[in-house]
Structure formats: structure tokens, C-alpha cells
């Protein structure tokens, strides 16, 4: 048995730390670093129970999104008997299924409307400084891919897996203007900026 200080130092320290909240970085939140250039975000954790002789046996499924914030993003669903193992498996699976998406500066090249199953997602480009206007599921994918300014709307089903897959499908449909012109064998014409008219001082 641990020795207790009669002055009450341990008790006071416990009371002081009891009401103190942990900083966001120390909490088991929805995002955490993977130790490298990738960022991992836990979108949804599902718990399932199997009734066996003597009680219930629980298992967990973690939907994890991984990205490098430079145009690459992946999705993985890990399953295990413990939450930590499910998240780790989901992250490893997402790293092996990463895809490259087209971005234009801090936003997306054009508008896109994609659906997966019953989930429908609308993506629209936004001006710099707008931020990511999206829900939790769509935001995880966009932040991992590196999008900083975008307008979104989630329609239809709220199933986490389908919403995330619809968002990734929408990002994969993005194409830059340079890519479209190159595929058609055309060249982008450079238009000179309009010049200000010259005012003759004699006519003023």
C-alpha cells in the first residue's frame, strides 16, 4: 500500500488535477499524427456485439482517413477487438489505398456533385479565406487532402462510410484546365491584362 502524506499533499494535488481539463493535443480526439508526413483522422467508430455463451463479445470498426495535405488522400476501415487496434489497422489500410486528387491553390478547380449509395455530396470552390464549410465527415477528407477553402453540402444519407466515399469520388472527378486542354491537344491562350487609358493633359 502506498504511503499517504499526512499533510494532505497528495490529496490536494489530486483535487487540483481532477477539475483541470486536458489540452486538445492530449485528448483521444479525432485526429492524430502518424509519426511522418501523413495525418490521420478517425471519422467514425462502430461497435458491434455478438451474443455468446456467458455474455457478449464486442468488436470495433474504425473508419480512418489518411492524407498528406498535398493532394493525396486515402480511406480505410479497420476492425479489431480493441479500439486502438482498429484505428491502427484502418490507418495502415488507408495508406495502401491513397489516391491523388487535383487541387487549385487552396481550393478545388470546379464544382462537383457526386453520390455513393444513398449519400450525395456537393462541392463548390471558394475564395481564399473562406475556410472549409463542411460537416465532420466531409471536413476530414478535405483537410487530409489539403483543401483550405471550399463550400460543401451533404445531401441524402448520413452514413459515414458512404459520405466519405462520395467526397473522395467528387475529388477524383476534379480536373485542372491545363489537363483538359492538354487532353484535347489545345494550348491555353494568354490574355494580356487591360491597360489603363492614357489621359492627355492638354485636353483636361
User: Could you read off the pLDDT of 162-202 as tens digits, one per residue?
Assistant: 999 999 999 999 998 888 888 888 887 777 777 777 777 77
Rounded mean pLDDT of the chain?
82
**Which residue do the cell numbers 494550348 mark?**
187
Q: Which pLDDT score, from 0 to 100, does residue 122 have? A: 95
CB 167 within 8 A of CB 137: yes
Q: Describe the crossing of helices 136-145 and 160-172 by its angle, rounded to 10 degrees.
A: 40
Q: What is the DSSP string of 84-132?
A: HHHHHHHHHHHHHT-EE---BTTB-SS-EEEEETTEEEEEEE--TT--E
Q: Which pLDDT score, from 0 to 100, does residue 85 have? A: 94
pLDDT band of 148, cuts 50, 70, 90: very high
Q: Which pLDDT score, from 0 to 100, does residue 36 have? A: 56
Q: What is the pTM of this model?
A: 0.72
- In percent, the amount of the chain with pLDDT more than 70 equals 81
Per-residue CA distances from 124 to 108, 120, 142, 183 (Å):
7, 14, 12, 24
Domains by residue range for the chain, with CATH: 30-183 (3.30.230.10)
Amino acid at each position: 500500500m502506498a504511503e499517504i502524506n499526512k499533510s494532505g499533499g497528495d490529496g490536494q494535488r489530486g483535487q487540483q488535477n481532477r477539475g483541470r481539463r486536458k489540452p486538445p493535443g492530449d485528448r483521444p480526439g479525432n485526429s492524430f499524427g502518424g509519426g511522418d508526413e501523413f495525418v490521420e483522422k478517425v471519422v467514425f467508430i462502430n461497435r458491434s456485439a455478438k451474443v455468446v455463451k456467458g455474455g457478449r463479445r464486442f468488436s470495433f470498426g474504425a473508419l480512418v482517413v489518411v492524407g498528406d495535405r498535398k493532394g493525396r488522400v486515402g480511406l480505410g476501415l479497420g476492425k479489431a477487438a480493441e479500439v486502438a487496434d482498429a484505428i491502427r489497422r484502418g490507418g495502415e489500410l488507408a495508406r495502401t489505398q491513397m489516391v491523388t486528387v487535383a487541387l487549385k491553390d487552396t481550393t478545388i478547380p470546379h464544382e462537383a456533385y457526386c453520390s455513393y449509395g444513398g449519400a450525395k455530396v456537393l462541392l463548390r470552390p471558394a475564395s481564399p479565406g473562406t475556410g472549409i464549410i463542411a460537416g465532420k465527415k466531409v471536413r476530414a477528407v478535405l483537410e487530409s487532402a489539403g483543401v483550405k477553402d471550399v463550400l460543401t453540402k451533404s445531401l441524402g444519407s448520413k452514413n459515414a462510410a458512404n459520405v466519405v466515399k462520395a467526397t473522395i469520388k467528387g475529388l477524383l472527378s476534379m480536373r485542372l484546365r491545363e489537363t483538359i486542354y492538354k487532353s484535347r491537344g489545345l494550348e491555353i491562350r494568354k490574355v494580356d491584362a487591360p491597360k489603363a487609358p492614357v489621359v492627355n493633359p492638354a485636353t483636361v
